[in-house]
Amino acid sequence: MPDRNEEAALPAPNEKLARFEAAILPHLDAAYNLARWLTRHEQNAEDVVQEAYLRAYQYFDRFQGDTGRAWLLRIVRNTCYTWLDKNRPHQSAVPLNEAGLEIASKAFAPGTKPLVDVHREQLEQALAALSPDLREVVVLRELEQLSYKEIAAVADIPLGTVMSRLARGRQQLHDQLQQTTQAEQSEASPKQTANVPRTPGVSRSVP
């Protein structure tokens, strides 16, 4: 026969659901955003988020009242990588070293467009070119505005690794966006030259 004291210590289903909705549901957009950038497919991201929310609810009794967003995003991240391992070839991580920290302050120098102001199509292409381990820290920091400490908790990596990956990701993203911008400018230049009107009445023939 179950102990009544143990039963009393467990939250009632309705109470658990209410706490879950209050702490976790507000972060649905962030969860979907991370899943979409990692899976790079809207429907797959929705499936991953649904599974992640089911897992989050299942293990919500372990939630200690920390930041709900970071706790949820860690589950979403793990669910994404489980999905990727099953559905896509493994993509190896970029080797990391402390040299990446040296370019952290140079990746987005003054005068460079903020990430949120970059054209969405350009951003999609540049982020897609990053390896998943770099892409996730860039998304969590630049788009979701998580702190380094929160990113370390979500990705389950040391703080120094967060800084190194973020530095490399920012640098590669910056290079990709710069190449795209230069390519667009090169394509536009001949068209602009061809469309310059000639001055009326001026003959181009040699006397």
Domains, the chain: 11-87 (1.10.1740.10), 99-186 (1.10.10.10)
Q: Is 200 left (phi over 0), alpha (psi -120 to 50) or beta?
A: beta
CB 163 within 8 A of CB 102: no
pTM: 0.68
pLDDT tens over the chain, length 207 residues: 555 554 445 556 688 899 999 999 999 999 999 999 999 889 999 999 999 999 999 999 888 776 789 999 999 999 999 998 888 754 443 333 333 333 333 334 434 445 545 567 788 888 888 998 999 999 999 989 999 999 999 999 999 999 999 999 999 988 988 887 887 777 776 655 555 555 454 444 444
What pLDDT is attached to residue 106? Answer: 39
* Residue 4, pLDDT score: 54
Question: Tens digits of per-residue pLDDT, 123-167?
Answer: 888 888 899 899 999 999 998 999 999 999 999 999 999 999 999
* Chain segment 138-148, per-residue pLDDT in tens: 999 998 999 99
Tokens representing 5? 């004291």
46: Cβ–Cβ under 8 A, 6 or more apart, which residues?
Answer: 32, 35
pLDDT at 178: 87
The CA distance from 156 to 177, in Å, is: 29
